[in-house]
Structure 1
Amino acid sequence: MPFTPDSELDLLFPAEYISQEIRAQLHPDLHLRPLASSDYKRGHLSILSVLTVVTDPGEDAWIAQFNAQREAVRTYYSIVIIDKPTDRIVAVGTAFIERKFLRGLGSVGHIEDIAVDAKQQGKKLGLRIIQALTAISENSGCYKTILNCSDKNIPFYQKCGFEQKENEMARYASQDRAHTPRL
């Protein structure tokens, strides 16, 4: 499959939101861009499976989720790194913007779901994803950008300029309630 340029894609947000400086640091065979509506076919879910078990909802449901995120304007920023020779995704990440009542109606950027194909790890692709998402967060006016990670990933995120702060708490819904919205 030949590389598809951004101009031919239905993107989640404008490609100009991604720093050209960060894009320029990638190998010429790699391309950093927003998630596209056709990225289900480029292996988006298989890259996410590096993180956890991923249930494939099917392409139609994936596209519905893509469209729901796009309708929440200035909120979701999912990005991908594409291997140009194969036109396949090799790294992903998302930032979402939380609008608060605190800090003079400030905003916080949350980074989530950073994943790099196992064959591409060690090439600073995770770093480039983090840098791009942090820049989007800061350019969106966020007073801070935060993320959660496992203890083993703390050194990586420290290299990306993050510092360990406070603790994460989680409560998981029971399986029968987890996928059944009630509101």
Structure 2
Amino acid sequence: MSFRQLTPNDYNEYLKLINEFRPTEFSEDQFKITLVAVNKSSEIWVYEDNGELISTGTIIFEHKFIFNTCIYAHIEDICVKSSYRRKGLGKLLIKHLIERCKGCYKITLDCSNLNIQFYEACGFNLRGNQMCILLKN
């Protein structure tokens, strides 16, 4: 088992994995086009076991002018395959993503109230509020 970045060849396995998190549909061509766009300012990491993707998480890097042109990291889309949950893989994934953010000013993430305790166990603290406007495509 090992971490690696998502590749264009991961379409089928990645789609299976993220559909456990939030059901979605997109073509393989859409996947490849979106992956190129995402990779310009983000990293999508997967944890693989014998060709099967069992967890994933995304880091979005935002370059800022404040704090001496720092980089701000935001973690998104954390998902662990249901059959692998409660085995420490979520914490292992978060630890890996935090390591990838070394040198950033701060790391943030959004989560549901149900997941606050998990992220606190990973070193995160509640801070501030999130505001949102949902726009339709």
Query: With structure 2 as the length reference, what TM-score do the two structures score?
Result: 0.94
> RMSD of the alignment, in Å?
1.1
Q: Which one-letter code corresponds to 2:52 in the other structure? A: R
Aligned match of 2:48: 82
Aligned match of 2:16: 46
Aligned residues: 137
Q: Name the one with the larger strand percent.
A: 2
Aligned positions of 1:106-145 closer than 5 A: 106-138=70-102, 141-145=103-107
Query: With structure 1 as the length reference, what TM-score do the two structures score?
Result: 0.71
Aligned match of 1:152: 114
Structure 2: segments with no counterpart, 5+ residues: none
1:77, distance to aligned residue in structure 2 (A) = 1.0
Structure 1: segments with no counterpart, 5+ residues: 1-29, 179-183
* Cα distance in 1 between the residues matched to 2:135 and 2:72: 25
Aligned match of 2:28: 59
Q: Computing the radius of gyration over CA atoms, which structure comes out larger, 1 or 2?
A: 1
Describe the superposition over 1:41-88 as per-residue Cα deviations: whole angstroms up to 9, x where unpaired. 3x112211232221x211111011112223x1xx2111001111xx11
Runs of 4+ off more than 4 Å = none
